Amino acid sequence: MPKSPTLPSELVVAGFHALSDPLRLKVLDLLRDQEMCVCDLCDDLSVTQSKLSFHLKTLKEAELVRSRQEGRWIYYSLNLPQFVVLEQYLAEYRRFSAILPARTCRS
């Protein structure tokens, strides 16, 4: 009996939503190499702290980033295990690629 498709979890949906914004992708790219203070992120991205806070909140809700407070500053870093969850979700589609017929465009 074929396996019935399951709906993605809310966290997977939140993850892909978080990845859908160019500014959030830039944040993730900056955090790829190191943890960064919110003030440095603002400077590197040339955005206000209020605008960046909105995007960081979305990334945190999707569990793509972690934060820690040190004094009055908040530092952000990637939460790599959550990226693995998204990658595993997408990997499920790879197993169908061999059985799907090639599609041709109709003019």
User: Quick one: which H or E segment has residue 26?
Assistant: helix 22-31
pLDDT of residue 6: 56
pLDDT of residue 1: 42
Q: CATH for 10-85? A: 1.10.10.10
In angstroms, how far is CA 82 from the centroid of its own chain? 8
Kindly report the pTM of this predicted structure. 0.80
Residue 78 has pLDDT above 90, yes or no: yes
Query: How far, in Å, CA of 35 to CA of 91, rounded?
Result: 28
Which band of pLDDT confidence, cut at 50, 70 and 90, is reported for residue 40?
very high
pLDDT of residue 96: 66
In angstroms, how far is CA 67 from the centroid of its own chain? 15
Residue 107 has pLDDT above 70, yes or no: no
Nearest to 27 by CA among 3, 5, 44, 39: 44
